Amino acid sequence: MSSASSPPPRPRQPLAPRRPHTVPSPHGGREDPYYWLRDDARKDREVLAYLRAHNRYTAQWFKDHGNRERRLYREIVARMQQDDSTVPYFKRGHWYYARFSTGQEYPVLARRPGTLEAPEQILLDVNALAAGHAFFDLGTFEVSPDGRFLAWCEDRVGRREYSLWVKNLASGEVSELGIGNIEADLVWLNDSISLLYVAKDPQTLLGRYVRQHRVGTDPAHDGLVFEQDDPSFYTTIARTKSDRFVLLGMESTLSSEWRYAEADDPEPRFRTVLPREREHEYQVEHWGEEFILRSNRQAPNFRLVRVPIGAAGDASQWRDLQAHHPQVFIHDFEVMKSFIAVSERSGGLKRLRIRPLRESAGREDFLVDAGEPAYTMSLGVNVDLDSDTLRYTFTSLKTPPSVLDCDLHTRTRTLKKQERVLGDFDPDRYATQFIRAPGRDGAQIPVSLVYRKDTPLDGTAPLLQYGYGAYGHSLDPGFSSARLSLLDRGLVFALAHVRGGQDLGRAWYDEGRLLHKKNSFHDFIDVTKHLVELKVAAPDRVFAMGGSAGGLLMGAVANLAPQAYRGIIAQVPFVDMVTTMLDSSLPLTTNEFDEWGNPTERRYYDYMLSYSPYDNVGAQHYPAMYVTTGLWDSQVQYFEPAKWVARLLERRLGEEPLLLHTDLRAGHGGKSGRFERLREVAREYAFILNVAGVHGARRRARIKER
């Protein structure tokens, strides 16, 4: 056979060369031989060649295992209702909704004047906007108060550097304003000509400048409304539900400050609701002649108060709407005409409590009924302040997302829509549980479980355990039709509600950050141990998954308890935290000191260094690992996982699969289209099933009640 017809050589896993480099710090330098993989311009040929070589090796591994992700992808897509639409909502004389067409990656945004039978007006066809771009993300889109203009921002790279566009809805004329590197926040003033946006710092990518653009004028003349001078604060803008005020928000990990201006004022003059204070977080909404505040002042789990506009600085005028409770964490609230709906968490579950705002609405509060042991209730789209009908969503690990309306006077609930799952899906085929796992220090760690009822819980089932554990972000048990591809093959799925989230209130968060961060890692490992002891999972078939800060969790448990896991999936993992947190030029550094610690201080430096996944890779056997990243990631730079994999390949014992895939056309959130995202999910599931040795799904197995 001639050489021209010979098959190409099989790709080999690339090993990164070591090159001397010292990372400086006030406490002495650290050697980092893989620092050369950092290329802020994303143009270095050697770096790109290295990443592509890993991509080829990873693709070959999946090909050698039968290209299983293709079959899984087709299976997952087959469950989708592709021609779908959202439940319409009414605002300023129009019904607004989004609809998908079969085969299309993105939605069409549309509205109808007056009634749902009126002719449709297409606001944006996102498929057309995304055409020709490998990545596309539509940020905020806002219709002007008079309905004439649509403003939106879009990201074509994946680095969350949005550009601003305006469309004349009468003529259809679209204007690219040439305003780039902005946040995804947009606010119209009531004159329907003036538009506020937040411009980013070009180096750190933090929102820093609030500017005002007037439609039809040169953006070079956009006025500066506000400049953020503290790099530890994020900056955001919003409108109150009443449309009376524009809000300017500044938030860090532990404190916040809000300012308000009349939306009727063409030259907005902002006044401060409450000046920032260390460890005081609050949010604000307008109702009548009052502001309603969600505040953690003398209330770690937050409380709701009402106070006259302009009088928030006088604590004697604060009146509790919902007082602080040590076992109830207040997440959010929605103001209605006569009621306030409170999104709260107690016992680890997120639920909705309704409280009257007017005497005519009665005096009793009540919880919206759920009916399942592990579930999530969330506030939906509620734009009409004059309504007393609450729209909310309900889901559980076995119940598809449902949109419901609740009449707050009669407490009557109306199902508006439930996500349709095609095929032979039956929710009664699955079981959910909400249990507690004992931690090594006595903590009781909540765990949400879902599995098929015919899956034997006798110590033989594979388990996928997911965790996050940072920023006070709670993991809510929600449905995934894609996950059915695992459950139908006999896997158990578990959400480990580890410390670092706020699943059990603010104290649960505080016990998993700064100098208590290791609790997150120990909790995750202790949940695994408990599920194995209960025979929910086979000891040699446990898989772990987490992304971003959850990827840090994955890196830490891989170092601490590699023997506990058969495989680990680390999505865009934050694994080189000490080096990153020492570099204030990178996004998410100075404004993250309250989460991780400031490594210029010795106690934080030493503690962070003691668990940093990159710095603690050892000469030990690691489980099979699949690591993903995005070249344009602005949250966790691609070179963190790339360096981590290089060090793992250098130091590990054994030859379990260690795969790195870099999406060269995306950022932190991965691919942008709805089908492209599912391809990533299918590949992750294929990795799990291949390593676990699991094959066909049980389609019509006999159901056993447990």
Q: Which residues are catalytic?
A: 548, 633, 668
- CA dist., res. 447 & res. 465, Å (int): 10
What residues contact residue 320 under an 8 Å CB cut-off, 6+ apart?
303, 304, 305
Strands, E assignment, 380-474 = 389-396, 402-407, 413-418, 430-438, 444-452, 463-466
- CA dist., res. 236 & res. 182, Å (int): 11
- CA dist., res. 705 & res. 314, Å (int): 58
Residue 370: closest CA among 339, 388, 345: 345
Q: Please report where in the chains the tokens 């699969």 appear, as a residue.
A: 657
Strands, E assignment, 252-348 = 256-262, 271-274, 282-287, 290-295, 303-308, 319-322, 329-335, 339-346
What residues contact residue 85 under an 8 Å CB cut-off, 6+ apart?
97, 98, 99, 100
Q: Please report where in the chains the tokens 């709670």 appear, as a residue.
A: 474
Handedness of CA 668, 673, 674, 677 (dihedral sign): negative
- Packing angle between helix 45-64 and helix 674-692, nearest 10 degrees? 60
What residues contact residue 466 under an 8 Å CB cut-off, 6+ apart?
475, 493, 494, 495, 496, 544, 545, 546, 550
- CA dist., res. 76 & res. 493, Å (int): 17
What residues contact residue 75 under an 8 Å CB cut-off, 6+ apart?
485, 697
Please compute, for residue 187, the number of CA atoms within 13 A of its CA located in the half-sphere on the CB side.
28
Residue 107: closest CA among 126, 133, 121, 88: 126
- CA dist., res. 245 & res. 264, Å (int): 8
- CA dist., res. 96 & res. 117, Å (int): 13
- CA dist., res. 582 & res. 578, Å (int): 6
3-state secondary structure of 144: coil
Residue 629: closest CA among 103, 47, 197, 201: 47
What residues contact residue 400 under an 8 Å CB cut-off, 6+ apart?
418, 419, 420, 421, 427, 479, 481
Please state the φ and ψ torsions of residue 393, each to the nearest 5 degrees. -115, 150
The secondary element (H helix, E strand) that includes residue 161 is none
In this structure, the chain runs to a length of 706
Distances in whole angstroms, Cα of residue 10 to Cα of each of 6, 311, 561:
12, 71, 33
What residues contact residue 117 under an 8 Å CB cut-off, 6+ apart?
none
* Strand-pair partners of 301: none
- CA dist., res. 435 & res. 459, Å (int): 17
| Residue 173 amino acid letter | E
CA 265 to chain centre: 35
Distances in whole angstroms, Cα of residue 32 to Cα of each of 574, 631, 640:
16, 20, 12
